[in-house]
Amino acid sequence: MTNVMGKCCAMTASAMNGMKRSASNCRKDGNIADQQKRINDLTMEIGRLTIRKLDEGQTAEEPVLERYRRIIEAREKIAANEQAKDVRKVVCPVCGEKTISGMRYCGRCGAELDRGAIAKNR
């Protein structure tokens, strides 16, 4: 009975760790989406400013460059968030299910996972 309780506790802890990682990745995905929206908004603003300046016969040097610098910053933030995401997976040796690393047991068949086989997929 004690062995079963220990396994249940281990499985619960493993599931909680997986949920925390998933929540963290979800927040990073939200940050990525925010930065992509920022890039799209700034790109449209660059287009409007450029067209207005060109329509007036002027150049659009500094306002365009300032927004371009902001786009570069947003791209760097996207890259940092992409790299910070924890997307490690391990394949169950019994059923072949891909499971988020940190899980001790397979979510499909319940087999114990080989913790040494975890590799970061990027």
Total-model pTM: 0.48
Residue 27 lies in a domain: yes
Question: Which of 30-44, 89-103, 107-121 has the least mean pLDDT?
Answer: 107-121
Residue 53 lies in a domain: yes
CA 69, 70, 73, 74 dihedral sign is negative
CA 19, 15, 98, 118 dihedral sign is positive
Asked whether the predicted pLDDT for residue 119 surpasses 80, the reply is no
Q: What are phi and psi of 120, to 5 degrees?
A: -80, 120
**Per-residue model confidence (pLDDT) at position 117:** 56
Asked whether the predicted pLDDT for residue 118 surpasses 70, the reply is no
Q: What is the per-residue DSSP string for 51-111? A: HHHHHTT---HHHHHHHHHHHHHHHHHHHHHHHHS---EEE-TTT--EEETT-SB-TTT-P
Domain of 28 in residue numbering reads as: 2-86
Residue 92 lies in a domain: no
- Mean pLDDT score across all residues of the chain: 81
The single residue listed with the structure tokens 């925010």 is 34
Asked whether the predicted pLDDT for residue 36 surpasses 60, the reply is yes
**Per-residue model confidence (pLDDT) at position 121:** 39
Residue 98 lies in a domain: no
Residue 20 lies in a domain: yes
The rounded Cα 75 to chain-centroid distance in angstroms is 14
Q: Could you tell me which residue, 47 or 1, shows the higher pLDDT?
A: 47
| 97 burial type by CB count under 10 A (0-12 exposed, 13-18 middle, 19+ buried) | middle
Q: How many domains does the chain have?
A: 1
- What integer is the mean pLDDT of 115-121? 51
